[in-house]
Amino acid sequence: MRFFARCALLLVCAFGVAAGASAPEDGDGADEAWADEDLAALPEVSVSAQRQNESLDDPPVFVETIDMKPFEGRFVTTEEVIGQAAGVNVRDFGGLGKLSTVSIRGSSADQVVVLVDGVRINPATGGGVDLSTIPPEQIERIEVVRGGDSAFYGEGAVGGVINIVTKKAAGETYNTVSTSYGSFNTFQAAATRSAGHGKWSYLASGSYLHSDGDFVFENDNGTEFNSADDFDDVRENNETDNRSVLFKVAYAPSDRVEIAAQNEFFSSSKGLPGLVTFPSERVHQQDLRNTTTVTGTTQDVGAKGLTLKTRAANRYSYTRFHDPAGEQTSIPLETTQHEYQPEIEQTASYLWGRHQVVSVSGLFRKNYLIDNEFDNPERTTWAASARDQLSFWRDRITLVPAVRYDDVSDIDGQWSPKFGLAVRPVDALTVKGNVGRSFRAPNFNELYFNQGLVLGNPDLKPERATNYDAGLQIATPWLFTEHAYFRSEVEDLIEYLLISGFRYKPYNIGKARLEGYEGSLRLTPFEYASLVASYTLTYAIDETEYPNRRDRQIPGRPRHDAFGRAEGHAGPFSPFVEYHYIGGNFVNQANTKLLDERHIWNAGLVANMGERYKLGVEVKNLADDRAVDVRGFPLPGRSVFSTLEAHW
């Protein structure tokens, strides 16, 4: 209760100080109060003024918003779409439906927060979020926030944040049905319906995906430097079955009040084929996630411009790992994990005058893990934050100071300040930059897992980082381009050390410097042609004081990553071609082993058959590049997919 009182005091003080600082002075005619009709129109003006790839809550931040509408009529995965963004690298553990994690600006997967409709889905056990468990058919857009942002999102947001925004329960009726079929006996079906009646609206969506995953790959027979015994092999025990259901309902008794509830369910069953040199034919894993959320929003509460939003949610996840013959674990093993994450968040935002938005929020979250290997640990998080968005000179200059305090039960309390600045000297040009502190709390694996050769360390400290970035953005009706320099100095990185015999224990010993350049381009010179491109240069440098590691690239962080897509529009036809390049990827700390660079070409055609139907055909990995990722996990070669989609 003492900390709760401190949080309340912090919120009240932050709100009062920010509001007082912006109070109009006597005689300042430019800052007189608006008329009621002007103030009522403000939210609409703000939305219409939003620039491409700009956050309304934090204009200086570097963010990429990916609209899923251009991918209609295509067979794509969520990880495939996210991997096209600047600053992002996706680590793929074997193709469709298999584990896929994300790195932003050279971070680890644990240092990226992933949200679905604002609810964190990062597992308390660590390892990052598996992007393959998020069905693309239910997504409206994806927001990729690049750079440390613990001041907004709390622990874990060292590299950035990915916010998945699912389709809304719209008042008007619409229906979507799609089906796809392709290589490796891959079948996908999805359906969505949204409708409304009076003050009520709802959305129901479901999807199913199956793939045998039996693609051909090059097996080096365990002799990496001898190509004479290489042969074509077939990936076995690589099947996937995914199921998902999303249901939303909303009630708006007035223009100022809305109450919404939703439930997102996902389950999967998949084989785990293991390494090429040590294949596993009988290892399987089952995953389940169910997230229930209730949100209430009220505008103009007691005063014009004051908005209150309350969100209560609970995430439940279940994982069952089954290795009956000990193919991956040396002994027969079956484990189950249950995780519960209830949380409640209260946010208040106030439009103060013409040029200021003050926001304060408080959060309570609980994490429960039921697993005998961990002795069923728990974590409690209390957090309070405040931010102030100020605009000057007809919105030519925007300042966003922010601060957040997180009290996490198994680590010390953490302050996360941040300051952002955006300057728009002319309408088409924005120059912006940010500086802040971020942190990642140790996960339950690092703190509490004690089994065999691995010991947990309950004395671990959080990983901490100082983040900087600066760049510019040019936006015209036919051109959008953004370029940024980024740098993060990360300390107290958690790494496992050999302590005795063959036993390992994690300690805060690592240091790293993550810096580089990222650029993106969207070009639409003509109505019938468009070009999208991105490039990232990442120096993820290990600064740990070990001679065989210092000043070397951190494994799993490729230095170069580039993507481009050219698309045409000729009547009902939209042909496209894509190219994705990932540079050589080191797999050990000494940088003595390097995975080959990847050159992946995709091409296809989407045809609009009237107003309701789309038919798409595409070839992925057109050149049949025999690519591998992450310790040699093979990726699918050339594959062909067709999609039929209907809207009405």
Calculate what percentage of the chain has a pLDDT beyond 70: 92
Q: How far from chain centre, in Å, is Cα 201?
A: 28
Mean pLDDT of 340-346: 98
Mean pLDDT of 545-570: 94
Q: How far from chain centre, in Å, is Cα 338?
A: 23
Record the tokens describing residue 198, joined without a space.
């009076």
Distance CA 189, CA 167 (A): 17
Of residues 539 and 545, which shows the higher confidence score?
539
Indicate whether 526 pLDDT > 90: no
Confidence of residue 531 (pLDDT cuts 50, 70, 90): very high
CB neighbours of 476 closer than 8 A, spacing ≥ 6?
A: 428
Digit-coded pLDDT (tens) for 353-388:
888 999 999 999 999 999 978 889 999 999 999 999
Confidence of residue 228 (pLDDT cuts 50, 70, 90): confident
Instruction: Measure Cα distances from 603 to 74, 217, 479, 640 in Å.
Output: 11, 21, 24, 10
Indicate whether 638 pLDDT > 80: yes
Confidence of residue 24 (pLDDT cuts 50, 70, 90): very low
Digit-coded pLDDT (tens) for 389-407:
999 998 899 999 999 999 9
Looking at residue 32, its pLDDT comes to 31
Indicate whether 29 pLDDT > 50: no
Arithmetic mean of pLDDT over the chain: 90
Of residues 352 and 580, which shows the higher confidence score?
580
Indicate whether 13 pLDDT > 70: no
Distance CA 386, CA 409 (A): 21
Q: Are 314 and 292 in contact (CB under 8 A)?
A: yes
Indicate whether 316 pLDDT > 70: yes
Please give the model's pTM, rounded to 2 decimal places: 0.90
Q: Name the amino acid, one letter, at 608.
A: N
Digit-coded pLDDT (tens) for 260-278:
999 999 999 999 998 888 8
Mean pLDDT of 570-577: 96
What's the angle, vertex CA 239, arms to CA 238 and CA 242, rounded to 5?
Answer: 130
Mean pLDDT of 533-556: 94
Digit-coded pLDDT (tens) for 87-132:
999 998 888 999 999 999 999 999 999 999 999 999 999 999 999 9
Confidence of residue 256 (pLDDT cuts 50, 70, 90): very high
| Alpha-carbon dihedral 229, 231, 236, 242, rounded to 10 degrees | 120
Q: Name the amino acid, one letter, at 51.
A: R
Indicate whether 544 pLDDT > 90: yes
Looking at residue 282, its pLDDT comes to 93
Nearest alpha carbon to residue 577 among 559, 599, 601: 601
Record the tokens describing residue 123, joined without a space.
């597992």
Looking at residue 21, its pLDDT comes to 35
Confidence of residue 52 (pLDDT cuts 50, 70, 90): low
Of residues 224 and 478, which shows the higher confidence score?
478
Mean pLDDT of 497-507: 87
Digit-coded pLDDT (tens) for 156-193:
999 999 999 999 998 789 999 999 999 999 999 999 99
Nearest alpha carbon to residue 119 among 164, 172, 64, 178: 164
Of residues 484 and 53, which shows the higher confidence score?
484
Mean pLDDT of 32-48: 32
Calculate what percentage of the chain has a pLDDT beyond 90: 76
CATH of 2-24+32-647, one of 2.40.170.20, 3.90.280.10, 2.20.25.650, 1.20.5.510: 2.40.170.20
